[in-house]
Amino acid sequence: MTKNIIVIGRTGSGKSTLANVLTNTSIFKEGSYGSSETENCQVGKVLSEIEKVIKSVKELSKVLLVVDNNSFTEGEKEIFKLLESVLGNEIDKYTTIVRTNFVNFEDENSCAEDSKFLIEEITKFSISFTSCKVIHMDNPSINISESSKNAEKLINLNKQTREESRKKLLENLKEERCQIAMEENERFETIESPTEEIGKGKLKCQIL
């Protein structure tokens, strides 16, 4: 069985980093410490592309909405409203929020408090939304100059943090096979890598 997942979010929210963490690769170019490596484009065009992809995916399993703050930008609000229009009353069932850059992602109380705040924020601009799952992650940069002080130590530490985030996310992707469609403007890349955590199948990531 193939599990079809769409990953969306505004430019700079951490989708490329999430793709690398999830697939345990470095194929997607990441920015350093929050800078974005994706292109900016008109909001209307992005929303149109997102809608097209969502409607084209057969047997959709999950939409991962990536945010890096507990307050929503106007663009993120528009994306969420689009999900509401496409998914209707099933938005709660199909949507999971991935909260990136959350240093205390392993602390249950901190995650619960932030989740509550995020849900409350959504209900301020959503008509039908009631609740959804929130996954907290921290994927610090490993693009650190070798000339930096303690660079090797910091890189190894950040790799360990990313691996813990990966384990947490993969708990939600335990089907035998998993297909990930990732929305980022007009670029397109595809990789396949074996992932023991989700069985003998392959994890397919696409960045548009």
What one-letter code names the amino acid at 162? R
CA angle in degrees (0–180, nearest 5) for 168-81-46:
85
pLDDT at residue 201, rounded to an integer: 45
Detail the DSSP E strand segments found in the chain.
Answer: 2-9, 60-67, 95-99, 133-136, 177-182, 189-194, 202-207
Return per-residue pLDDT of the chain as tens, 208 residues.
556 777 788 778 888 888 788 777 777 777 654 444 444 445 566 667 677 777 776 677 778 889 988 788 888 888 888 888 888 888 888 888 999 999 999 999 999 999 999 999 998 888 777 788 899 999 998 888 877 778 889 999 999 999 999 988 888 666 434 555 554 433 334 434 434 344 444 455 544 3
pLDDT at residue 117, rounded to an integer: 92
Residues pairing with 9 in the sheet: 66
Domains and CATH numbers, the chain: 2-207 (3.40.50)
**What tokens were used for 150?**
């303690």
Residue 22 — left, alpha, or beta (φ > 0 → left; ψ -120 to 50 → alpha)? Answer: alpha
pTM here is 0.76
